Amino acid sequence: MFRSAANTFLANRRQFVLGAGSLALLPWFDQCLEGAAKRNASFSQDPFTLGVASGDPAPDGFVLWTRLAPDPIDGGGMPAEIYELTWELSEDESFQEIAKRGKAFATPQLGHSVHVEVHGLPADKWYFYRFQCGDAISPVGKARTTPGYNAAAEKLRFAFASCQHYETGYYTAFEHMAQEDLDLVLHLGDYIYEYGPNAKRIRQHNSPEIQSLDDYRNRYALYRSDPALQAAHAACPWLVVWDDHEFDNNYASDISEEKGIDHEAFLLRRANAYQAYYEMMPLRRRCLPKGPDMQLYRRIPYGQLANFEMLDTRQYRTDQPNGDKKSPYNEEAANPKNTLLGDKQEHWLMRDLIASQSNWNILGQQVMMAQVDLEQGDGEKYSMDQWPGAGHSRDRLLSFMRDRKVPNPVVLTGDIHKNWVNDLKVDFTNETEAPMGTEFVATSISSGGNGGKMEKEEELLKSENPFVKFFNGERGYVSCTVTPDEWRSDYQVVEYVDKPGAPLVTRASFVVESGKPGAIRA
């Protein structure tokens, strides 16, 4: 059903390609752009209001991002013209010596966003970077190349986070994250929320529920205008994937959670959402959307130390079983046809895991994988939006990693606005079965408000689910230190987000020894 609708939407491929501005990203088209681009522009307002970012690093380069937007939350404020920018890399923040520079072009078709793919750099090295357009110079960011593919990297420090509802709290956690000495940040979804404003909340959204491309652009601009979020982006490269709120709550492929939604209109809205996401993220051109389709799943290796498989559990999934309500693990939930990844992505993932030569194999994804019983006392209920709603597919993947002896699988998860640590098993009901991997779940940056420690709830959950090692409801993120011998996750929390200035607290730390699945409290 979805494929036929998508094909209808993309029937005029040439018209879409021109409309989406993808030609503007092809190297052979740069010469045409150069002839049409506006140089030596003069700005009465700063066009770099949304800061800078880098992402998807490789041993020889990375992606550099910015967007020209002097009036960021009201359409951007740029004329419908092409603008030429220059970008520069330097080993020192003063840019006394330029290591590399080049040109880029900001087109109106892509909201005057810029995605520069830098190549030809030495491996495992930090750089400062900046952009210039006419008389305006951007803030300075930091980016790094990863160790060589065959390099035996000794250490990796990264953080992962998700769920940053602008209205429900300040981004204090990002302030602290920006001060950490990190090589990478993983953002696992719900970068924005699509809802209209709520006057009772701490900060307000800037429009009713978003639908059009301009709506999505303005909402991203509102979120990215936050100084703490800009600082975290500028501090190091990011690996990003979406969840549902980047488009619409709890959608499944081309299916809305709401009844009676026009299918073609829903796909058009998804195309708007996906294009705005691409425009605002430091992604490579291979992720450029094609109408309502956008391949976001990809692999990013970090030498032979770690292998990041960034997954998309929204675009290809089947509809949530049992009406998307917490339910027993019944026949509908166990249907072998249920999937979160879709066949193509699942097969790609299995192929990559077989080929991986990395010591740690990391799945960066959105919804909780462990089969957590959420019903207290007698009876069982599971979230149908999470992996229990596709339990057969989940068990197949976990069995595959166990049976193929994939080294040190670690699943990183967002979405649920709580901190969790879970041992992963093929049969979660078997208390004697040894774990085959570990799942670390990060709470929200701000979604849900202040939250709390939830110590009584933790004990109840652990009594119902012996594989659960930690549960906590405060806001924050998880910092990870990875070496060939050990993985360490530090659960970094702030005790409040309803006002600025909360100190950072390391609430708990867990380690996993290489070759010994299962998390141990440090």
The three-state (H, E, C) secondary structure of 89-143, written as one string: EECCCCCCCEEEEEEEEECHHHCCEEEEEECCCCCCCEEEEEEEECCEECCCEEE
**Looking at residues 357-369, what average pLDDT do you find?**
98
- pLDDT greater than 60 at residue 378: yes
pLDDT at 30: 61
Record the pTM: 0.94
- pLDDT greater than 80 at residue 9: no
**Looking at residues 338-355, what average pLDDT do you find?**
98
- pLDDT greater than 50 at residue 126: yes
- pLDDT greater than 60 at residue 418: yes
> What is the per-residue DSSP string for 465-515?
-TTEEEEE--EEEEEEEE-SSEEEEEEEEES--SSS-PPEEEEEEEEEETT
Q: Which residues contact 437 (CB under 8 A, 6 or more apart)?
A: 398, 401, 408, 409, 410, 411, 423, 424, 517
Residues 330 and 242 in one domain: yes
pLDDT at 233: 98
Residues 379 and 407 in one domain: yes
Q: Write down which residue in 98, 113, 144 finishes a domain.
A: 144
Q: Is residue 1 part of a domain?
A: no
Instruction: Quote the percentage of the chain above a pLDDT of 70.
Output: 93
Residues 137 and 240 in one domain: no
Q: Is residue 238 part of a domain?
A: yes
pLDDT band at 29 (very low <50, low <70, confident <90, very high): low
Query: pLDDT tens across 473-501, in order?
Result: 999 999 999 999 999 999 999 999 999 99
pLDDT at 34: 67
pLDDT at 32: 62
CATH number of the domain residue 365 falls in: 3.60.21.70
pLDDT at 208: 97
**Looking at residues 16-28, what average pLDDT do you find?**
42
Helices (runs of H) and strands (runs of E) counted in the chain: 10, 22
Q: Write down which residue in 113, 144, 175 finishes a domain.
A: 144
pLDDT at 13: 35
Strand-pairing partners, residue 61, are 58
pLDDT band at 508 (very low <50, low <70, confident <90, very high): very high
pLDDT at 211: 97
| The residue to which tokens 């987000």 are assigned | 497
Query: Comparing 464 with 30, which gets the higher pLDDT?
Result: 464
DSSP, collapsed to helix, strand or coil, labels residue 324 as helix
Residues 363 and 395 in one domain: yes
- pLDDT greater than 80 at residue 2: no
Query: pLDDT tens across 302-318, in order?
Result: 999 999 999 999 999 99
Q: Is residue 478 part of a domain?
A: yes
Q: Write down which residue in 112, 144, 176 finishes a domain.
A: 144
Query: pLDDT tens across 159-199, in order?
Result: 999 999 999 999 999 999 999 999 999 999 999 999 999 99
Residues 49 and 106 in one domain: yes
- Both tokens of 41, joined, read 């522009």
Query: pLDDT tens across 273-294, in order?
Result: 999 999 999 999 999 999 999 9
pLDDT band at 28 (very low <50, low <70, confident <90, very high): very low
Distance CA 204, CA 211 (A): 17
- pLDDT greater than 60 at residue 10: no
Q: Is residue 297 part of a domain?
A: yes
- pLDDT greater than 80 at residue 36: no
Range of 218's domain? 156-521
Least confident of 2-11, 45-54, 244-253, 325-334: 2-11
pLDDT band at 468 (very low <50, low <70, confident <90, very high): very high
Query: pLDDT tens across 225-238, in order?
Result: 999 999 999 999 99
Q: Is residue 8 part of a domain?
A: no
Is the alpha carbon torsion for 189, 192, 193, 194 positive or negative?
negative
> What is the per-residue DSSP string for 251-304?
-BTTB-SSTT--HHHHHHHHHHHHHHHHHHS---GGG--BTTB----EEEEETT
Q: Is residue 3 part of a domain?
A: no
Q: Is residue 110 part of a domain?
A: yes
pLDDT at 376: 85
Nearest CA to 183 out of 250, 252, 131, 126 is that of 126
Question: What pairing do the DSSP bridges indicate for beta strands 360-364 and 409-413?
Answer: parallel
One-letter identity of residue 101 = R
Give the count of alpha carbons within 13 A of 327, CB side only. Answer: 20
Mean pLDDT estimate for the chain: 93
pLDDT at 187: 98
Q: Is residue 7 part of a domain?
A: no
Q: How many domains does the chain have?
A: 2
Strand-pairing partners, residue 157, are 481
- Both tokens of 442, joined, read 């990060």
- Residues of 402-427 as b/e, b for ≥16 C-beta within 10 angstroms? beeebbbbbbbbbbbbbbbbbbbbbe
- pLDDT greater than 50 at residue 4: no
Residues 140 and 162 in one domain: no
- pLDDT greater than 60 at residue 124: yes
Residues 127 and 255 in one domain: no
**Looking at residues 96-108, what average pLDDT do you find?**
96
CATH number of the domain residue 116 falls in: 2.60.40.380
pLDDT at 326: 96
